[in-house]
Structure 1
């Protein structure tokens, strides 16, 4: 640590943020939006009175929650090109790009966790409000759209954001696919300049600051909504 060189960090800062951090935040944001949509659909399926639909969603959730994320990343990175080739009838693997493969992976993986969070939020809405919606003439979809889901998302916002923080940290695993996320960009600079200590300490600091700031936001939301931080 005696020869710690801050100039290496300062020189690489523009590229690290413009290339690496933008990639990480973009992957986190898109994965969150898509996983929330899929997770909501899965939560409604799990609560369905149709046992086949409920069991199908439960099987999906249990499968993805039981497998290591790094294994799923490799699976989809190598399988998605073949699946795309099968879908378009070419029979040949279609290059889909590392980012697209990672986006599909994180969307499907995080949807399993969002599903359980949203399902808990739906079940926490008092039954009387659902009955009141039906009494007003709303059908199932109307009750869910106008009464249940808005309250469920409001109550579960802190827990959902906590899961987004986990997603943000997990995106660093795309480094194994040689994608230039923030950690991957830091590693490129570290290997190029031979300054591993400086770059990895700086990368850890950036992840800590962003995650800590987001966790403080979660705590404020928990205090405002009075929701226990469970995930």
Structure 2
């Protein structure tokens, strides 16, 4: 059966697939950076000791982690334009959705990282007269990021894979472009096999990088 497949459409499709890949990468990088920043603030809020602040951060994280990503994508795509009174486009909606959704997962990773820092260093920073937020910024967070870097990258790999779900709102990511080409050229098997190979190579390579990083961090400890 494989001998009957025609991969001649692949070379001509590369420019379009590249454009789709760049958008998938844009979502990944934007959501990773924004998600880690917002997630770190959520983690700090949960551990701050302030009851209202901790409750709000916990509610946000639990809500986002309890709703399927596809429903969140569709919800933001429909709800945000309704609230502001005009459409924001599928691409902007995808960027916003992935950032706020991934923040919940990055937040839990950062919370574990913060809690992995020894209490002795935390108490020492307070003994030096630092406030909670100063201790976080200068002492705790740098170590938490280093400790959790493999997990942060692993979550980013999952994030890259999940970008294919923006297909549901018409955003032209790698998977959406591949689907359009497959339908136009009547070659779904060839196109999906090629795109699957792209996802595999990227994600597998990053997974190997994470494993090497885990070993290096373990040696440093």
| Moved >4 Å (runs of 4+) | none
Match of 2:133 among 135, 141, 152: 141
Q: Distance in 2 between matches of 1:168 and 1:13?
A: 19
Q: Distance in 1 between matches of 2:58 and 2:131?
A: 25
Match of 2:121 among 122, 125, 129: 129
**Post-superposition CA distance 1:123-157 (Å, at most 9, x none):** 01001111111222322221111100000000000
Q: CA deviation at 1:194?
A: 0.4
Q: Which runs of 5+ in 1 are unaligned?
A: 85-92
What residue in structure 2 maps to residue 189 of structure 1?
A: 181
Q: CA deviation at 1:103?
A: 1.0
What residue in structure 2 maps to residue 60 of structure 1?
A: 60
Q: Distance in 2 between matches of 1:44 and 1:15?
A: 42
Q: TM-score, normalised by structure 2?
A: 0.96
Q: Distance in 2 between matches of 1:47 and 1:8?
A: 54
What residue in structure 2 maps to residue 16 of structure 1?
A: 17
Q: Distance in 2 between matches of 1:56 and 1:145?
A: 21
Q: How many residues are aligned here?
A: 218
Q: TM-score, normalised by structure 1?
A: 0.92
What residue in structure 2 maps to residue 90 of structure 1?
A: none
RMSD of the alignment, in Å? Answer: 1.1
The answer to whether the aligner puts 1:39 opposite 2:39 as a matched pair is yes
Matches within 5 A, 1:1-231: 1-17=2-18, 19-84=19-84, 93-226=85-218
Structure 2 SS opposite 1:179: coil
Q: CA deviation at 1:50?
A: 1.2
Q: Distance in 1 between matches of 2:211 and 2:203?
A: 12
Q: CA deviation at 1:14?
A: 2.1
**Post-superposition CA distance 1:7-53 (Å, at most 9, x none):** 11111112211x11001001110111111111011001111211111
Q: Distance in 1 between matches of 2:59 and 2:133?
A: 24
Q: Distance in 2 between matches of 1:136 and 1:68?
A: 45
Tell whether the 8 Å contact from 2:48 to 2:132 is kept in structure 1 after alignment.
Answer: no
**Post-superposition CA distance 1:90-116 (Å, at most 9, x none):** xxx211111111111111111000111
Structure 2 SS opposite 1:2: helix
